[in-house]
Chains A and B, each alone.
Chain A
Amino acid sequence: MVLDDFPFSAVVGHTVSKHALLILNVEPRLKGLLIASPPGTGKSILVRTFASILRRLEQGNDRRWPGGLVKVPLGITEEHLIGGLNFEQAVTSQQFEWRKGVLAQAHRKVLWVDDINLMQEATIHTIAAVLDSGLVRIEREGVSTYNQADFLLVGTYDPAEGEPSRLIQSRVGMLVDSSTSLLLEDRCKVLHRILAFDRNDERVLERDVDQDRMTARKVEKAGRLLRRVRFPREIFLQLITTSSKLGLEGHRFDSFAMLAARSNAALAGRTVVSQEDVEEAVRLVLLPRVKLFDQEKQSGSSSKQEHEDVSTQEASESPPQLEPSRLSDETSAPGQSSRMEIEMLPGEIPDPGATVAEGRSRPGGPGRRSNAFLNFRGRKFRTSLKSQPRCSIALGATLRSAVPWQALRRRQGQDQFSNQADLTEGKLESRIIVKAEDLRFNQFRGKTGLLFIFVVDASGSMAANRMAQAKGALARLLQQAYIYRDQVALIQFRGDGAETLLSPTRSIERAKHLVDSLPAGGSTPLAAGLLHALSMARSTRLRSNPQPVLVILTDGRANRLASPVSVGLEARPVVLERELRQISIVIQREKLSSVVVDTRPSFLTGGEAPALADWMGARYLRLPQADKGTLFQAVTLLTQEVRMKKNTS
């Protein structure tokens, strides 16, 4: 038995995913589905067997697609994706044809991207754009045409390695987290079935094969029913109200939810959408996104018209330092809704004059990005005459530079590779004579610049004024990030653990807002903060995104373990220290450049932060002493080192 014959119904677990896949099949307007699941849990089998259900529906109305699966490799080039000039044909004959890209080949099929969270941003963009419009536009190398590409996108990934791009998440209808572990009896089932499949033992899977047939029929029926499904007004209002309360951005999700509810009803054989369909839609379409949007909501986007989150006051164990915050109901300009404002603790205001002066003394000058030209990933951004080792030839540009010379070269009889017979027969009129000076090479530019991961201790031990200094320092660092077009991310740790306040972004404005409204209070789970940063740095590297630099602001006095602790066991200093050491060693081994900024006043220091810096192989800086200049200079030096290291590696 071929793997593709493994019955869809025989896949154990993944109940939600399976249901979602069927819903997607019934209503293609849902565009697609992303499934998160740890490795080895059968995601691939799930997707492949889903495709086999599609094949059983081959005969039928045009709503159901011929089915079939097209798998997109992660590193696919844009040419292969979109299609392009068939150069061989063009150059050797007079035929001018373009080659259909993978997206066009996936027309009316399922496009499957595994490890979609690791795919390059540019590729994701292309796929998303085509997903939306259903058309592939080819405008390259002098070709201008359209291809139909109506497909269903199924993306699978391991959530431990990071989330997929926000863009693709917002363009597909449903998100499913399939990470729940199986019960013992289910695990046995999986073994039993796979082994049976290996042995070609059809008896074990017979029932599932039958089930598959029934599912196919059900889907077919649902497809026909879909047009007649009614959505009662009250229930529709309920759905929109729920969506509104969840606070998601944009209106696409409302549409997706509506489509999912309808499809669910159709699958169940009903012509009226019920409460239960709406709940299912909320579960599949809306709820999974709330968690993601929560982070962004907390920042209050750059549009200050949106509501800003109220900072919570947590009980702190060290000298309680409450954020002086005032909640006032203020009505702004007439016509606008009232908003709550929090008085924010002002950070030290950076001195604009200083920035300019420092800018000039920096080698390379301000605004110069570090361009890693020898990076082979990323976008093709120009062609050059110089050949670098392992650089690919830009066919289009090469031909373009060769073309003007053809007449001359032919007359001079420079075509030395053809044989006389062909020449006299006139078969070679359209051959292009390319010489070395015509060659043009692709220069790629990957995402360069750095990613500053700020890990901020927001526990109660960060006394109010030191928090202010920390914020001032951060503001300064953000300025630098702005100039160099670096990315920033913000992780805070306090109380129970660490939290990503801002995923890697180039929006310095948002970062600044977040920094300004950082609350403080709670215990100090330093280890958790470090772990969180480590995982973010790792997933950043996997996507060959910018080089991460950790900037940790803390006093080093951890009092909470990251690892789960048995009840009753206290976090003794020895245990805490050991944990921190372990994590630091890992950070050092992964060669993550880091800076530890000690926020503890010098007369109180117990050496915790310097010790941490030592274990991590990080630079150490003391905040209270450091005036604006020192801190800035120190971080600048470090980042320069990192940039240079990156360019020469």
Chain B
Amino acid sequence: MTSRKKQPARKKKHSLARSLSPVYPFAAIVGQDDMKLALLLSVLDPYLGGVVIMGHRGTGKSTAVRALADLLPARTRVKGCLFNCDPDRSQDFCQDCQDRSHKVRRLPRESFRVPVVDLPLGATEDRVCGSLDIERALTQGSKSFEPGLLAKAHRGFLYIDEVNLLEDFLVDLLLDAAASGRNQVEREGISISHPARFVLVGSGNPEEGELRPQLLDRFGLFVQVATLSSIEERVEIVERRDRFEQDPQEFYEQMHNLQEDLRQQLDMALELMPQVSMDPRILHQVAELCGRLQVDGHRGELTISRSARGVAAWNGRVAVNEDDIRRVAVMSLRHRLRKDPLEVTESPARIMQMLERIFPLTTR
């Protein structure tokens, strides 16, 4: 790693932060299969639209997101690029990279870990979208763009805790960026556009209030996590956490094999994804399911289709089957069945009943 003026400072910060707060391994998370699956699916298909995880405090929501990001392999970006530009996707280049690519034949690369960007509670619009680089302005008198959180999250995760308390307009802004994959900034004499493709994960405590249905609907999957009830699992959770906190390195070694297995499975799934197909008959049934449940709009069936493909790939298959549909139906539809404005989320019962009718468990 050759040093350049600005780079070492950034690298040092990153590794300092990681050594000061080591990340809990994904493979070591006990239970919470739905949440783990939803997060994996959102990685397998970035167009899924992100995940909302609702649950009480202390149920491992933010742990899971950070753990997943850590599980993912390091990615490559253009060396020194503040926007994490992918060197193989020149159509997505930021302005800087574009300029550089005209001068040099091949842009230098470096690897970086998948970022998880937290949205701080007091985040203001300029911090999210980016603004004038004040350090440069004050010290050099020049005008340049300081990337915001959207830039930092590019090709990574943007995690919003207490998403149900965030201002509507901010959630809106973030959902827009997540959907369009780009961030357009026009302020303080700056006009810039840069890619912003990230997985949006929102979490929250249902007691504190609900997210507006319109906003909720734009998230791909909705998962509810609860405190585990089995004593053995609870014991396991506490013990693992304790071992991890006392000696993270040792814990990593113990979990190494499981983590490796997961990584490989994920790699394979990512490779398989483009080839996964869904039988027209099943597609038809999915549409029927959503129709009968009176789901608003088409996001329901789209989400089921996308996530079911992910499940198939995760299990090493290229054909979606009915089990895959059953696995993802509830998390894809639960937040889209608003009938009564006061009841924002449905109980799974109705969905499961309809599932049973259209995709019966007994084989004919």
**B56 near A: Cβ within 8 Å?**
yes
The answer to the question of B108 belonging to the interface, with a C-beta cut-off of 8 Å to chain A, is no
Kindly state whether residue B17 has any CB partner on chain A within 8 Å.
Answer: yes
Interface residue stretch chosen among A208-216, A450-458, A507-515: A507-515
Which of A49-57, A108-116, A143-151, A522-530 touches B? A143-151
Question: What residues on A are CB-neighbors of B263 within 8 Å?
Answer: none
Q: A396 — nearest CB in chain B belongs to which residue?
A: B134
Q: With A244-B234, A303-B226 in contact, is A404–B188 under 8 Å at CB?
A: yes
Q: How many residues of A contact B (CB 8 A)?
A: 78
CB pair B17–A400 under 8 Å, yes or no, is: no
User: Which chain B residues numbered 224 to 283 have a C-beta less than 8 Å away from chain A?
Assistant: 224, 226-229, 231, 234-235, 237-238, 241-242, 245
In order of increasing CB-CB distance, the 9 nearest A-B pairs are: A250-B58, A506-B209, A252-B58, A142-B134, A249-B56, A403-B137, A304-B347, A302-B206, A125-B121
Chain A residues numbered 79-127 whose CB sits less than 8 Å from any CB in chain B: 85, 90-91, 94, 96, 122, 125-126
Most chain-A Cβ atoms within 10 A of its Cβ — which of B149, B162, B347? B347
Q: Which residues of B contact A236 (CB under 8 A)?
A: 235
Q: Does A237 have its Cβ within 8 Å of any Cβ on chain B? A: yes
Q: Known contacts being A250-B58, A380-B122, is A258 close to B242, with CB within 8 Å? A: yes
Q: CB within 8 A of A243: which of B120, B143, B234?
A: B234
Q: Can you sample 9 A-B contacts with CB below 8 Å?
A: A96-B135, A251-B234, A305-B348, A333-B349, A404-B189, A505-B208, A506-B210, A507-B206, A509-B210
A135-B21, A139-B127, A252-B57 as given contacts; A400 in contact with B349, CB under 8 Å: no
Shortest distance from the beta carbon of A380 to any chain B beta carbon, whole Å? 7
The complex places the Cα of A240 from the Cα of B237 at a distance, in Å, of 11
Chain B residues in 8 Å Cβ range of A506: 165, 208-210
> How many interface residues does B have (CB within 8 Å)?
64
| Residue among B21, B226, B242, B341 making CB contact with A479, cutoff 8 Å | B341
Q: Which of B58, B126, B143 meets A170, CB within 8 Å? A: B58
Contacts of A248 in B (CB 8 A): 227
Instruction: List residues of A whose CB falls within 8 A of some B CB.
Output: 29, 78, 85, 90-91, 94, 96, 122, 125-126, 129, 133-135, 137, 139-146, 148, 166-167, 170, 236-237, 240-241, 243-244, 248-255, 258, 296, 301-306, 332-333, 352, 379-382, 396-397, 399-401, 403-404, 406-407, 430, 432, 475, 478-479, 482, 505-510, 512
- Provide the bound-state CA to CA distance between A333 and B355, in Å: 11
Closest to A299 in B: B207
B13: Cβ under 8 A from any A Cβ: yes
Q: Provided the pairs A142-B135, A142-B146 are in contact, do residues A509 and B344 lie with their beta carbons within 8 angstroms? A: yes
Asked whether, in the complex, the Cβ of B241 is within 8 Å of the Cβ of A255, the reply is yes
Indicate if the CB atoms of B167 and A381 lie closer than 8 Å.
yes
Q: Does B1 contact A (CB under 8 A)?
A: no
Q: A251-B237, A401-B188 are in contact. Are A475 and B20 (CB under 8 A)?
A: no
Contact of A305 among B124, B341, B342, B347 (CB under 8 A): B347
B186 interfacial by beta-carbon distance below 8 Å: no
Other-chain residue from A140, A403, A505 in contact with B207 (beta carbon distance below 8 A): A505
Residues of A within 8 A of B208 (CB): 505-507
B143 contact from A122, A140, A305, A403, Cβ within 8 A: A403
Q: How far is the CB of B8 from chain A (nearest CB, A)?
A: 13
B181 located at the interface, meaning its Cβ lies under 8 Å from any Cβ of chain A in the complex: no
Which of A241, A253, A475 lies in contact with B58, CB distance below 8 A?
A: A253
B191 interfacial by beta-carbon distance below 8 Å: no
Q: Are B59 and A251 in contact (CB under 8 A)?
A: yes
Contacts of B137 in A (CB 8 A): 399-400, 403
B323 within 8 A of A: no
Q: Say which residue of A304, A381, A382, A403 sits within 8 Å of B134 (CB atoms).
A: A403
State whether the Cβ of B42 lies closer than 8 Å to any Cβ in chain A.
no
Q: Is the CB of A141 within 8 A of B122?
A: no
**Distance, CA A599 to CA B238, complexed state (A):** 51
What sequence of 0s and 1s flags, for each residue 53-65 of chain B, a beta carbon within 8 Å of any chain A beta carbon?
A: 0101111100000
Minimal beta-carbon separation of B46 from chain A (angstroms): 24
A-contact bits for B348-363, CB 8 A (1 contact / 0 none): 1100110000000000
A122-B122, A250-B56, A507-B210 as given contacts; A146 in contact with B238, CB under 8 Å: no
Additional pairs, 4, CB under 8 Å, beyond known A122-B122, A509-B342: A126-B121, A134-B20, A144-B13, A254-B238
Q: Are B138 and A399 in contact (CB under 8 A)?
A: yes
Chain B residues closer than 8 Å to A401, beta-carbon distance: 188
Residues of B within 8 A of A430 (CB): 138-139, 141
Contact A244 B345 (CB under 8 A): no
- Output the least CB separation between B221 and chain A (Å): 16
Chain A residues with CB below 8 A from B209, complex form: 505-508
Say yes or no: A407 contacts B234, CB within 8 Å.
no
Q: How far is the CA of A303 from the CA of B225 in the complex (A)?
A: 9
Q: How far is the CA of A289 from the CA of B353 in the complex (A)?
A: 37
Whole-angstrom distance from the CB of A232 to the nearest CB of chain B?
Answer: 13
Known contacts: A382-B124, A506-B208. The answer to whether A146 contacts B13 by CB under 8 A is yes
Q: 8 Å CB contacts to A: which residues of B16-73?
A: 16-17, 20-21, 54, 56-60
The answer, yes or no, to whether B296 is at the interface (CB within 8 Å) is no
What is the CA–CA distance of A85 and B57 in the complex, to the nearest angstrom?
33
Residues of chain B with a CB closer than 8 A to A382's CB: 124-125
Residue of chain A at shortest CB distance from B330: A333
Closest chain B residue to A483, Cβ basis = B341
Of A125, A167, A249, A251, the residue contacting B238 (CB under 8 A) is A251
Asked if B176 CB lies within 8 Å of chain A CBs, one says no
Residue B132 at the A interface, CB < 8 A? yes
Find the residue from B56, B131, B138 having the highest chain A CB count within 10 A.
B138
Q: Does B133 contact A (CB under 8 A)?
A: yes
A379 to chain B: which residues have CB within 8 Å?
122
Residues of B within 8 A of A166 (CB): 207
Most buried by A among B20, B121, B137, B238: B238
Interface centre among B60, B135, B207, B345 (most CB of A within 10 A): B207
Given contacts A29-B245, A170-B57, A381-B167, contact A399 B134 (CB under 8 A): yes
In the bound assembly, the distance between CA atoms of A393 and B300 in angstroms comes to 47
Tell whether A90 pairs with B138 under 8 Å between CB atoms, given A250-B59, A252-B57, A306-B226: yes
Q: How far is it, in angstroms, between the C-alpha of A141 and the C-alpha of B146 when the chains are bound?
A: 10
Given A126-B121, A251-B237, A508-B342: A403 in contact with B141 (beta carbons within 8 A): yes
- Taking a contact as CB atoms under 8 Å apart, the answer to whether A509 and B242 are in contact is no
Contact B58 A333 (CB under 8 A): no
Taken residue by residue from 197 to 212, chain B's Cβ proximity to chain A (1 for < 8 Å, 0 otherwise) reads as: 0000000001111100
